[in-house]
Structure 1
Amino acid sequence: MNSDRKFLDQAPRFLFFTGKGGVGKTSIGCASAVQLADAGKQVLLVSTDPASNVGQVFGIDIGNKITAIPAVSGLAALEIDPQAAAQAYRDRIVGPVRGVLPDSIVKGIEEQLSGACTTEIAAFDEFTALLTDSVLTADYDHIVFDTAPTGHTIRLLQLPGAWSGFLEQGKGDASCLGPLAGLEKQRSQYKAAVDALADPQRSRLILVARAQQSTLREVARTHEELNAIGLSQQYLLINGILPESETAQDRLASAIYRREQNALIHMPAALSGLPTDRIELKPFNLVGLMALGQLLRRSEPLSMPDNDVTPATSAANLSSLVDEIATDGHGLVMLMGKGGVGKTTLAAALAVALARRGLPVHLTTSDPAANLTDTLNGALPDLTVSKIDPHAETERYRQHVLATKGAKLDAPGRALLEEDLRSPCTEEIAVFQAFSRIIREAGRKFVVMDTAPTGHTLLLLDATGAYHREVSRQMGDSQQHFTTPMMQLQDPRQTKVLIVTLAETTPVLEAAQLQNDLRRAGIEPWAWVINNSVAATTVHSPLLRQRAANELSEIAAVANHYASRYALVPLLQDEPTGVERLLALAGDHWGISKTPSPLVPTGHKGEG
């Protein structure tokens, strides 16, 4: 079909939408699928997002089966459940060897299959059939994927297949070997799937971003990573740009507009050559066919409403959380959440607020995309800052393994070990070891950690759990006291986890899924922070007023169903960089009452 949007012009059979949480890839994927179907095509829309809300967008239950969308002729949808896929994947690999191999080997394989790497591989395993099984998909002209496979997953699948014997002989210091064990039968199917992804006649990847410097830097890294492994047919889609028409007589809207335009002007060079589309910010929630139909159209300026639709929202601000944290005198404070929700800024604000109180603080990040130095742009006497460098930590770990485990191997075994140490999960293990060293400091000072995006964080926690189980096995019935990192994370007296989100449907759903994952690991989140809220400030722009009103239901969901305590942080005119602005962000300078509002109560513990 021909479209005024480049990313849909002469669309190939497979379309993949990828990007950080909250950038709008689900809404755009759904709108694109509807537009293709309206053009007379048979379309299958597939979500591989664990917090998928495709069913909510269309107002029907979908689940892990191909389901026709009644309101759209020619459109069907499927939501792949990564957790169910991972369990089926584990059963398929472990089942044939149970009772055949020694129990110790079977337990080792099960241990290696417990991590997030397995979930990624299993989800890929599910949709490779959609790329290669002509019987299953023969009736569809287009297959639209919400959440593309990552470069991480594809690099795993490109590793050699000779791992089973390597594992059984106990040669591996395995990082990604577990998920890859027993894949030999699937390798031809996986190769066909990867070939399909790399074929520009069959596949197109659409990188979805917002007009923010950090988000554009992140999508530039994704572009380069995918390009390096042969996925070169990429388009850039910048979503949610504030129209210039909304800036009249609104200081906040004017500041946002200037900030976004500056980010677009200084876009990373790696993105400048990509075909690019821009979609303006919409005032409405992207649920239902009417909203989806308007998403890809050019916007008309809104008229000024007769009455003030900006809600008067009351909730605790960030300073109240800082006050509670400070009473402990020391401890680990971890900020978690999807990329793009503002964890780095909030971590820096918490750290400077604690340090200004005269408390010793170590601010650190395990997010390779974070730049704490730029955010702080200054120093405080009681504040130290560090960054876990994944590349440096990985090289240190790689050299250690080669010098110990590798020294005992023959040449073929060492070659396999070196190959494994080039896999992506090696980085996760190395970062975990650095993480473990830092959190020990929390016994005598505050350690505020800005974590990597959620998927990486959960991998890190899986590694923490594996370490805990290994230490427990080694200790056996010994009465010797020991404390593992996981025990520290599970102890609310030592660790406070803050989940950061935005007052939008998808980020809240993803944050709720993160909370469930943490609870399964025995970690109870201490608080939620709703960042960049329009409802927490005063605006005159008609579009922003409407968005402020739309936020109320999401804020209420956090307050009433998910959070034991929460804070609301407003969208600010100026980027909160530099110590003074960060202190203002964490302080009582917004004129927001701490008195509970009937609209948004201060929250009580929900089941999540």
Structure 2
Amino acid sequence: MLTLPFLDDLPRFLFFTGKGGVGKTTLACATAVRLAEQGKRILLTSTDPASNVGQVFGVTVGNTITPVPTVPGLNALEIDPQQAADAYRATIIDPVRDLLPAAEISAMTEQLSGACTTEIASFNEFTSLLADETATAAYDHVLFDTAPTGHTVRLLQLPGEWTSYLSDGKGDVSCLGPVAGLDRLRHDYAGALAALTDPTRTRLVLVTRPQGSSLREAARTSGELHELGMTNAHLVVNGVMPSYAVTSTPRDELAHAVRAREDAALDAVPDAVAALPRTTLPLLAVNTVGVPALRALLEPEAPSLPEPAAEIATLPDGLTDLRGLVDELETDGHGLVMCMGKGGVGKTTVAAAVALELASRGHDVLLTTTDPAAHLNETLQAETPHLTVERIDPQVAIEGYRERVMAGKGKDLDDAGRAVLAEDLKSPCTDEVAVFQQFSHVVFRARKQFVVLDTAPTGHTLLLLDATGSYHREITRQMSEGAHFVTPLMRLQDPAQTKVVIVTLPETTPVLEAQELQSDLARAGITPWAWVVNGSLTAAAPTSPFLRARAHAEAEPLTSVRGLCQRVAVLPLLAREPVGAAALSELTRPLTEGTVIDAH
């Protein structure tokens, strides 16, 4: 009998958070359906730039509250980051447009044009829902499909001293805007923080998968948010392979191996989340898109779901394997390979496999990461000839950046001014700027060797690219006419120097998120060189009827990906995890050899 502790004694606000690919959006949508069908009035809000709440319900949901026709009592809202940013800039700039010189307006607009401002504008939209009770008075519960990590919630704690500091002219305008907007922000942030840290009003639902990396991420997030005062937390382990999927096919090695790995991960749940109330949800045989599937997620015995055919699913024509991509990469002799995508799709695994294969062919390779949660050394487990492993440590970069700013801009300030500047530099808005200098150095090194870069999850990566674009525009303005120069963004835009590889999973939501990433890259003038679809059951050809049903659910996502890029490699799911050089080398064996690979 399925029990759902995370729904017991519900407070008014629910926050669903977790590593990418764990089913956060799906669970938020399923919970919204269940509560609405119990007669509750529900508002489901997504603050994810790649939100697909509308696709899950099969309706168009935008920046205005929209009823879901198939679920009476349920309204949905997708906060559009670009619209939010445009409106936010207007509130800051319009009041002073006729009061300041055009040059200052232009500089202010540039300052407020980055991805950091876009993130804050979206953040402000959801804080207003928390702080303004009249905005949500019509609803019994408000559900947020978001990831309020320590990085984001830190914005709630920006000090009131900013106002006097900026009004006295002691600091530059930040991406939060000048003093005109800070009074309202401080009021809303205080109200939002009060709601988030009140256990009678807000519950944090940490969504995870039965995998070690996902559970460790949930533990890290739980610890950060607990320090910020968010103490009412529940753990939901999503997608556990049901027992019947194993017992019905005793000879399927893949099914037994997956279940054994899940059991081992759940036996070693990190202490930080082990004591939390826990809900375990089984993996379904179909994609959780549409109301019947969402209903079945929290009621697995629901009879309304169709049973897919149990015959072997086949891959679409025109797909290759990872070895084929490496063969093409090798012809250049050097260059930057950027593995990008949402968290949890296997970027670290793919990056490590590509770097290891290039090194095994005698090329000097630098494998590095900008992802704070990456564990490259754990993945490789041993030193390899021709392969150097480094990490762009965000914390080291941030501390160095703060020291340089304090030594420069802060040297002429009094003690009070230096104290406020130091607090300003704790804002997460400065983090990507700090990492940027080290990132630029890595891009430069790719002129003479292979550099394989495992990037942070999509949102942080776009902030990094935005910093690259801002740097490019600044250099362009400073250079004299006719001068020759090359900025990091120009290298990223040049396919002869940079190969962007988008990594995803053969599931509807990850593919939609990766497609959104491709659109964002196009706006930056960057065209992905290839896609890698990780963890495919279709390519693994399992014998278990349950896994074959799951494989059939991959047909639409795989076909969609095939139409998005001319190079698409598929990695099958395997019984053993690709940890260590020997296991990673299997990732670059031809598909025709029947090797099956684990994506996580």
Q: TM-score, normalised by structure 2?
A: 0.93
Q: Note the aligned Cα RMSD (angstroms).
A: 2.4
Instruction: Provide the residue aligned with 1:210 in structure 2.
Output: 209
166 and 524 in structure 1: CA distance in 2 versus 1, 3 angstrom threshold: farther
One-letter amino acid matched to 2:430: T
Per-residue CA deviations over 1:308-367 (Å, capped at 9, x if unaligned) read 243355520001110111100000100000000000010000001111111111000111
Q: Is the 8 A contact 1:331 1:446 kept in 2?
A: yes
Instruction: Provide the residue aligned with 1:67 in structure 2.
Output: 66
2:391 to 387, 398, 401: 387
404 and 262 in structure 1: CA distance in 2 versus 1, 3 angstrom threshold: same
Shift of 1:31: 1.1
Shift of 1:579: 1.4
Which stretch of the first structure deviates more once superposed, 112-121 or 415-424?
A: 112-121
Find the aligned partners of 2:589 and 2:121 in 1 and give their Cα distance: 45
Find the aligned partners of 1:289 and 1:580 in 2 and give their Cα distance: 43
SS of equivalent residue, structure 1 residue 15 = strand
Shift of 1:306: 7.8
Residue 524 of structure 2 is aligned to residue 525 of structure 1: no
Shift of 1:589: 5.4
Per-residue CA deviations over 1:122-144 (Å, capped at 9, x if unaligned) read 11222233223343322211111
Instruction: Provide the residue aligned with 1:606 in structure 2.
Output: none
Instruction: Provide the residue aligned with 1:273 in structure 2.
Output: 275
Residue 446 of structure 2 is aligned to residue 447 of structure 1: no
Residue 250 of structure 2 is aligned to residue 251 of structure 1: no
SS of equivalent residue, structure 1 residue 405 = helix
2:502 to 495, 499, 504: 499
SS of equivalent residue, structure 2 residue 446 = helix
Q: List structure 1 segments (4+ residues) > 6 angstroms apart after TM superposition.
A: 300-306
Instruction: Provide the residue aligned with 2:334 in structure 1.
Output: 330
SS of equivalent residue, structure 1 residue 497 = strand
Q: Is the 8 A contact 1:334 1:497 kept in 2?
A: yes
Instruction: Provide the residue aligned with 1:22 in structure 2.
Output: 21
Residue 310 of structure 2 is aligned to residue 311 of structure 1: no
Find the aligned partners of 1:476 and 1:37 in 2 and give their Cα distance: 62
Show the 5 A alignment for 1:375-414. 375-414=379-418
Find the aligned partners of 2:169 and 2:569 in 1 and give their Cα distance: 50
Find the aligned partners of 1:165 and 1:194 in 2 and give their Cα distance: 22
270 and 173 in structure 1: CA distance in 2 versus 1, 3 angstrom threshold: farther
Q: Is the 8 A contact 2:85 2:117 kept in 1?
A: yes
SS of equivalent residue, structure 2 residue 366 = strand
SS of equivalent residue, structure 1 residue 182 = helix
Find the aligned partners of 1:70 and 1:323 in 2 and give their Cα distance: 50
Per-residue CA deviations over 1:131-165 (Å, capped at 9, x if unaligned) read 23343322211111111433322212311245467
Residue 518 of structure 2 is aligned to residue 512 of structure 1: no
Q: Is the 8 A contact 1:176 1:426 kept in 2?
A: no
Shift of 1:4: 3.0
Shift of 1:110: 2.1
2:590 to 588, 593, 597: 588
Instruction: Provide the residue aligned with 2:541 in structure 1.
Output: 538
109 and 273 in structure 1: CA distance in 2 versus 1, 3 angstrom threshold: farther
181 and 335 in structure 1: CA distance in 2 versus 1, 3 angstrom threshold: farther
Shift of 1:81: 1.1
Find the aligned partners of 2:176 and 2:123 in 1 and give their Cα distance: 16
Find the aligned partners of 2:491 and 2:159 in 1 and give their Cα distance: 37
Shift of 1:20: 2.2
1:364 to 341, 362, 368: 368
One-letter amino acid matched to 2:16: F
Shift of 1:290: 1.4
167 and 441 in structure 1: CA distance in 2 versus 1, 3 angstrom threshold: farther
175 and 355 in structure 1: CA distance in 2 versus 1, 3 angstrom threshold: farther
254 and 526 in structure 1: CA distance in 2 versus 1, 3 angstrom threshold: same
SS of equivalent residue, structure 1 residue 387 = coil
SS of equivalent residue, structure 1 residue 513 = helix
487 and 533 in structure 1: CA distance in 2 versus 1, 3 angstrom threshold: same
Show the 5 A alignment for 1:174-189. 176-178=175-177, 182-189=181-188
Shift of 1:177: 4.9
289 and 144 in structure 1: CA distance in 2 versus 1, 3 angstrom threshold: same
Instruction: Provide the residue aligned with 1:599 in structure 2.
Output: none
Show the 5 A alignment for 1:115-264. 115-163=114-162, 172=171, 176-178=175-177, 182-247=181-246, 248-264=250-266
Q: Is the 8 A contact 2:120 2:176 kept in 1?
A: no
Tell me, which stretches of 5 or more residues in structure 1 are unaligned? 594-608
SS of equivalent residue, structure 1 residue 227 = helix
One-letter amino acid matched to 2:65: I
Find the aligned partners of 1:164 and 1:96 in 2 and give their Cα distance: 17
Residue 352 of structure 2 is aligned to residue 348 of structure 1: yes
Instruction: Provide the residue aligned with 1:552 in structure 2.
Output: 555
One-letter amino acid matched to 2:420: L
Aligned residues: 589
Find the aligned partners of 1:163 and 1:127 in 2 and give their Cα distance: 22
Instruction: Provide the residue aligned with 1:570 in structure 2.
Output: 572
Which stretch of the first structure deviates more once superposed, 223-232 or 505-514?
A: 223-232
Shift of 1:191: 1.1
Q: Is the 8 A contact 2:310 2:548 kept in 1?
A: no
Shift of 1:475: 1.4
Find the aligned partners of 1:134 and 1:424 in 2 and give their Cα distance: 27
Find the aligned partners of 1:50 and 1:305 in 2 and give their Cα distance: 32
Shift of 1:498: 0.4
One-letter amino acid matched to 2:442: I
Instruction: Provide the residue aligned with 2:421 in structure 1.
Output: 417
Shift of 1:553: 0.6
Shift of 1:489: 0.8
164 and 456 in structure 1: CA distance in 2 versus 1, 3 angstrom threshold: same
Instruction: Provide the residue aligned with 1:110 in structure 2.
Output: 109
Find the aligned partners of 1:282 and 1:185 in 2 and give their Cα distance: 45
One-letter amino acid matched to 1:585: L
Per-residue CA deviations over 1:418-463 (Å, capped at 9, x if unaligned) read 1112222322222111111122110100000001111111111111
Which stretch of the first structure deviates more once superposed, 231-240 or 70-79?
A: 70-79
Instruction: Provide the residue aligned with 1:457 in structure 2.
Output: 461
Instruction: Provide the residue aligned with 1:604 in structure 2.
Output: none
Q: Percent identity?
A: 57
Which stretch of the first structure deviates more once superposed, 384-393 or 408-417?
A: 408-417
